[in-house]
Each structure stands twice: as C-alpha cells, then as structure tokens.
C-alpha cells in the first residue's frame, strides 16, 4: 500500500478525488483505518468525550492526547496521521504552540497537527508551517469554543458570518495550512470555500461539495450512545453488537453453559491418578 503523503492529498484535491477521513483513538481503531484504506486518520480531541467520558473537549490535556496518539501511530502506517492540538496548547504564545506541536510530532508520532480558529490563529499556523510542522486548519463550529459560543451551533448562516469564514479560510491557506476542516456550515458556503481554496477541505456537516469528509469513529460505527448530530450517518452498529455480546456472556456464565469442554485443559495422561493416590 502506498503511503498517503501531503503531496498525494494535494493531488487528490487537484484531481477531485474524494478524501476519506476517520478519527481513531487507539491501536484497534487505528488498525481498522489502516486496513480500510482511509486516507487520513485523525486523533481528534473528541477522544475526550467518546473515549474518556469527559463532557467537553476542553478537559483534555496534551499528555492524554499524546498517549492516544502513540497508540494510533503504532497501527496507522499508510494513512496520513494528524493529531488535534488540545485546548490551551496553542493559546499562550507562538513559542508555546511550537513546543506543543513538536511534542505531538516527536512523542505522539503524528505527521501533522490540527487546530481550531480563524483569523486569530493565522500567526500560529504561519509559525508552525515555517518550522516544518504541517497544519490542518479547522473553522466553522469549533467544539473547543462551545462554552464561549453558548453551545454547538451551525456557523456562517448569515451573509456576514459566511464572509468572515471565507476570509479566514483564505488567510489560513495563505498562512500555509495544507488542508482545512469545515464543521457544521451551510453546504453552499462550504462549496464556495472549497472552490475558492486550492488546498483540500474536509467537511463534517458541510455537505458534499467539500474535497473530503470526516466523521468521528464512534458516531460512524454506532458506538456512541450520546447526542447524534444531524450530519452523522451510522455505517455500523458496534454498540448494539457489543451490548448483545455482553448479555450473552453474562447469561452463559450464570447458566454455567460457559466455559464448555473445548475451553478447558486436561492434565497429562496418568498425572491426575498420581495426584489422587
Ligand atoms: O475532534 C474531532 O474528532 C474533530 C473532527 C470531528 C473534525 O475535530
Ligand atoms: Na477536534
């Protein structure tokens, strides 16, 4: 299998080949992405909710992200591997942002980093890309800002908001971003941004006009029991399968139907008799 490089992603954008992105949080999900020909594997800070049980992404620390990133990196060799910069790791200063991004590359074994923000993060994106750290931008709905924005809301629904997003998208591309997540924005605006930019856009709740699509693993695989956003489609029902498996296991233990003979070991011939004599 051929490694998905940034050059390959740029080529896919040029040739209008759809880019498939899935989040992964550990070795087995990374393995699924590897075996399933996913183009980009994202260790998203959504790990905070779907794996760690926090109620918001802002609870996630850099050390926690690094732990998950390393696990995914052990499995995920062919897809491009990008890691989210957790809340607070690129907000203090440019120097601090570089230091933390370096940790994601060096200790987390990520190949690039993703960070949320518009015009405000342009200097950070510029500094990181200048240092040779590829950056994926992320505009529209920004979960790390849910508290500041009073919830998870679709962005860019009015002309003024849409124009701000378009300008931010261009500035982030100019700052050196190699790609951009567009989250929960009207599909016409996402198509306009995609047509305006030369780098690939990766949509989530942004319609079919984007260069690629991303979904959270647990949403896409039906392993998440919380809120289901309008933009989510379930491609599998892992949660139901696992629930049934747990029920069957407990019943089998309670009825002593498990373990059966094929799950047990025998002593060597004659040894049991010796023991009993
Ligand atoms: O954290 C995440 O999973 C993300 C994707 C939904 C884009 O940022
Ligand atoms: Na994220």
Own/partner contacts of 69-72, CB < 8 Å, gap of 24 or more, are 69/43, 69/104, 69/108, 69/109, 69/110, 70/107, 70/108, 70/109, 71/25, 71/26, 71/27, 71/30, 72/24, 72/25, 72/26, 72/27, 72/29, 72/30, 72/41, 72/43
Domain range list for the chain: 6-236, 241-276
Residue of 58, 64, 152, 183 with the most ligand 1 atoms within 8 Å of its CB, for mutation: 183
Q: Among this protein's residues, is 183 annotated catalytic?
A: yes
**CA of 214, closest atom in ligand 1:** 7
Which ligand has an atom closest to residue 201 CA?
A: 1
Q: What is the pTM of this model?
A: 0.96
pLDDT for the residue 122:
98
For atom 1 of ligand 1, the residue with the nearest CA is 44
Instruction: Tell me the mean pLDDT in the region 256-273.
Output: 97
Residue 225: is its pLDDT beyond 90? no
Mean pLDDT of the chain: 97
Give the distance (Å) from ligand 2 centre to CA of residue 130: 23
| Å from CA of 23 to ligand 1 middle | 7
Residues with CB under 5 A from ligand 2 (ion): 44-45, 84
State pLDDT tens for residues 118-165: 999 999 999 999 999 999 999 999 999 999 998 999 999 999 999 999
In words, the CATH class of domain 6-236 is alpha beta
Task: Give the pocket of ligand 1 (CB within 6 Å).
Answer: 23, 42, 44-46, 84, 181, 204, 214, 216
Among the listed residues 107, 111, 183, 271, the single catalytic one is: 183
């Amino acid at each position: 299998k051929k490694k998905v490089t940034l050059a390959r992603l740029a080529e896919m954008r040029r040739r209008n080949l759809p880019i498939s992105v899935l989040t992964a949080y550990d070795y087995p999900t990374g393995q699924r992405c590897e075996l399933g020909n996913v183009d980009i594997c994202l260790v998203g800070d959504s790990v905070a909710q779907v794996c760690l049980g926090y109620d918001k992404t802002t609870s996630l620390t850099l050390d926690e992200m690094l732990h998950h990133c390393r696990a995914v990196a052990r499995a995920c060799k062919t897809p491009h591997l990008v890691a989210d910069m957790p809340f607070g790791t690129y907000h203090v200063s440019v120097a601090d942002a570089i230091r933390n991004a370096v940790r994601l590359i060096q200790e987390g074994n990520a190949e690039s980093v993703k960070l949320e923000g518009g015009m405000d993060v342009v200097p950070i994106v510029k500094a990181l890309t200048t240092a040779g750290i590829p950056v994926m931008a992320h505009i529209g709905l920004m979960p790390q800002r849910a508290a500041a924005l009073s919830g998870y809301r679709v962005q860019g629904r009015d002309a003024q908001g849409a124009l701000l997003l378009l300008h931010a998208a261009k500035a982030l591309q100019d700052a050196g971003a190699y790609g951009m997540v567009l989250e929960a924005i009207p599909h016409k605006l996402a198509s306009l941004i995609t047509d305006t930019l030369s780098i690939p856009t990766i949509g989530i709740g942004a319609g079919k006009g984007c260069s690629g699509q991303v979904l959270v693993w647990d949403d896409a695989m039906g392993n998440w029991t919380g809120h289901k956003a309008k933009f989510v489609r379930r491609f599998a029902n892992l949660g139901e399968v696992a629930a049934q498996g747990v029920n069957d296991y407990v019943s089998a233990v309670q009825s002593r139907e498990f373990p059966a003979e094929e799950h047990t070991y025998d002593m060597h011939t004659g040894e049991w008799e010796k023991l009993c004599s």
